[in-house]
Every structure is written in C-alpha cells, then in structure tokens.
Amino acid sequence: MKVGFVGLGRMGAHMARNLVQAGHDVKVYDVRPEAIEVLVELGATAASSVVDVAGGSEFVFTSLPGPAEVTETWQGDDGLLAHLEPGAVGIDLSTVGADTSRAVEAEAREHGRRYMDAPVSGGVGGADAGTLSLMVGGSEEDFEEAFPVLSAIGDSEKIYRCGDIGAGSVTKLVNNLIGMTTNVVIAEAFSMGVKAGVSANTLLDVVTASSGNSATLAQWKSSVLQRDFTPGFMLALGHKDARLAIELAEQLDIPMPVTSVARDRLAAALSEGWGEDAVAVVARLQEREADTLIDGRSS
Ligand code: NAD
C-alpha cells in the first residue's frame, strides 16, 4: 500500500520503519529533518511537507505529541484533510482527547474523507518490535480496510475496535491514567519500604511476584532502580495524558480524586524541569520529601 507517515519521534520512527519492512511504500515527514533522513536510509521516501505526505497516499498516519500538533497537522488549508486523496483513510496514532479526534473526523467528513483515532500502547519497545496494542475508534468498514496496515504496527491479536470515532482515545486515556497514578503510588510505597529497611531490589522482586505487580512496576526495574531516567515515555506526555483524562471526567461530571493528585504530582515534577525524562522520574519528588533513595544499584 502507499502509506504516508507524519511524526517520526520515539514511537513514530519505529512504526514507520515497520511499515517499510512490511513492504509498504512509505512517505515520511517530521519537523526535524534528521528524523526524516534516518527513515530514508531505511527505505522510506522523504516528503517536503505535510501536504506532500497526503499526495498519492492510501493511508496517512500521524504520531504527534498531543492535541495541538494533531489539530494543526490535520485541520485547516495546509492540513492533511484538505489534501487527502479520495478514498484515503487518515489514522491518528497519538494520544489525544476524544474531543480532538471527533473534531478532526467531523472536518474529514466535510471534505468527504475518512479518519480514525488509533492510539497505541506498549512503549518504545513495543513500537520497535511491532507488538503494540492499538485502540481504534472508527466505522467497522474503515477498521477492516485499515487492519492490514495496522498489523504492521501492532500485534494483530491486540488491535481492538473500541467503537466509533473517539472511542480509541477514551480507551487510551483509561489505560494511561492507570499507568500515571500507578507511578505515583509505587513511589509512595517503595519510599516507605526502603526507609523501613528493605532493599529496593527485594521490594521489586517480591512485589513483581505478588499481587502488587503491574506493567508500570516492570519499567521501574530499568529506570528508578538504576537511576536512569532516559525516556521511553516522557514525563511531559504522561502529564498531558493525566490532564486529558481529567478534562474528560469534568465533561462527564464525575470525580477523579486520585488522578487529580497524580496529575498534580506530575505537574510538580514538570516544574522541576524533568519534562523530557521518563515519567517514572516523578519518584524523585517522593524521594526528596521522604529523605530516602529508591536505588537498586548497590544491593
Ligand atoms: P516524541 O516527542 O518522541 O515524537 C513526536 C514527533 O513529532 C517528534 O519527532 C517531533 O519532531 C514531531 N512533530 C511535532 N510536531 C510536529 C508537526 N507539527 N509536524 C510534524 N512533526 C511534528 O513523542 P513519542 O514518545 O513518539 O509519542 C508520540 C505520541 O504517542 C504521543 O501522543 C504519545 O503520548 C503517544 N505514546 C507514546 C508512548 C511512548 O512510550 N513514548 C507510548 C504510547 C503512546
């Protein structure tokens, strides 16, 4: 298939590469020229602009930081929607609110074009391996048509149609608010355990083998315990996701007391200047206040 791809960041570069390796004819664009060059060396074609990506493409993907970039890239005269080929399908892989996905899809319909939200989970490792889970919002027909290209990005057993447009974004926020609040809770729990005299490695091993285990805890082994906060998933993006979840809850008039605390903790970590570190860096706030270090390197 002829595929366009905008946004070659930590996730997008791997996803675009997997599309190339699956045999698709992939045209790529990013505001960072060096990111385009890497993909061209792997067999993709360079596009000169967002508009150029749309030309000739049967499917166009975006993997962008958040709602502002998604809106700017898809909507308006210089956006993808205005230049998609007849019959092409637009697919956004970014994490945004359902309101953003629905607004873009409404404009797509005005242009007589199709658009789905398909946020992903599984981190940079999953993007690299092509084993992401995908949470898709769109019509059954569009989902089935896109399934072969989505399968190049994700594990075909984990590509879910969650409902109509916006349902993928809602599902992704449900998933991520669990991850964001879990980071904050693990920081509390581990600071208590370490200060009470049990080593961080023992806590990690035992909780991993017990009922407190989680995908978030698995990430702590190579991040907090090794004092290595290289992202992965940046704190700034985690804060965005908690904020988007709370905005959705406000629209629905439901309380989110725990997520609100987590959002505030992530915001406090952001204001320390840690936005481009891995989201687990939020542990450093707790360590400072608890006067203890969750360090697994020496025990
Ligand atoms: P990133 O910041 O590494 O990548 C974003 C890319 O978009 C960058 O290459 C940037 O140059 C490019 N970009 C920004 N604005 C642009 C524009 N206007 N036009 C073209 N390119 C533009 O982010 P990431 O970690 O790859 O995440 C991408 C999306 O996937 C986010 O919405 C994030 O929440 C979501 N996500 C990330 C992870 C993860 O583990 N990193 C996991 C699941 C979902």
**pLDDT, one tens digit for every residue, the chain (299 residues):** 999 999 999 999 999 999 999 999 999 999 999 999 999 999 999 999 999 999 999 999 999 999 999 999 999 999 999 999 999 999 999 999 999 999 999 999 999 999 999 999 999 999 999 999 999 999 999 999 999 999 999 999 999 999 999 999 999 999 999 999 999 999 999 999 999 999 999 999 999 999 999 999 999 999 999 999 999 999 999 999 999 999 999 999 999 999 999 999 999 999 999 999 999 999 999 999 999 999 999 75
Dist. CA 59–CA 49, nearest whole Å = 16
Do 204 and 137 sit in the same domain of this protein? no
Out of 103, 131, 163, pick the residue that ends a domain: 163
Do 159 and 213 sit in the same domain of this protein? no
Whether 246 is in a domain gets the answer: yes
Out of 133, 163, 193, pick the residue that ends a domain: 163
| Token pair belonging to 8 | 């070659």
CB neighbour burial string for 159-193, b if at least 16 within 10 angstroms, e if fewer: bbbbeebbbbbbbbbebbbebbbbbbbbbebbbeb
Do 200 and 63 sit in the same domain of this protein? no
Whether 296 is in a domain gets the answer: no
- Give the CATH number, domain containing residue 215: 1.10.1040.10
- Give the CATH number, domain containing residue 56: 3.40.50.720
Model pTM above 0.95: yes
Whether 297 is in a domain gets the answer: no
Ligand 1 pocket test, pick from 5, 10, 73, 234 with the greatest ligand atom count within 8 Å of Cβ, gives 10
Please give the distance, rounded to the nearest whole angstrom, from the Cα atom of residue 82 to the centre of ligand 1: 22
Dist. CA 220–CA 222, nearest whole Å = 5
Do 119 and 96 sit in the same domain of this protein? yes
Do 194 and 126 sit in the same domain of this protein? no
Ligand 1 pocket test, pick from 5, 6, 11, 51 with the greatest ligand atom count within 8 Å of Cβ, gives 11
Do 6 and 124 sit in the same domain of this protein? yes
Please provide the size of the chain in residues: 299
Whether 295 is in a domain gets the answer: no
Do 27 and 138 sit in the same domain of this protein? yes
Do 276 and 136 sit in the same domain of this protein? no
Question: Where in the sequence is the domain holding 279, given as residue range(s)?
Answer: 170-290
Give the chain's domain count: 2
Please give the distance, rounded to the nearest whole angstrom, from the Cα atom of residue 145 to the centre of ligand 1: 25
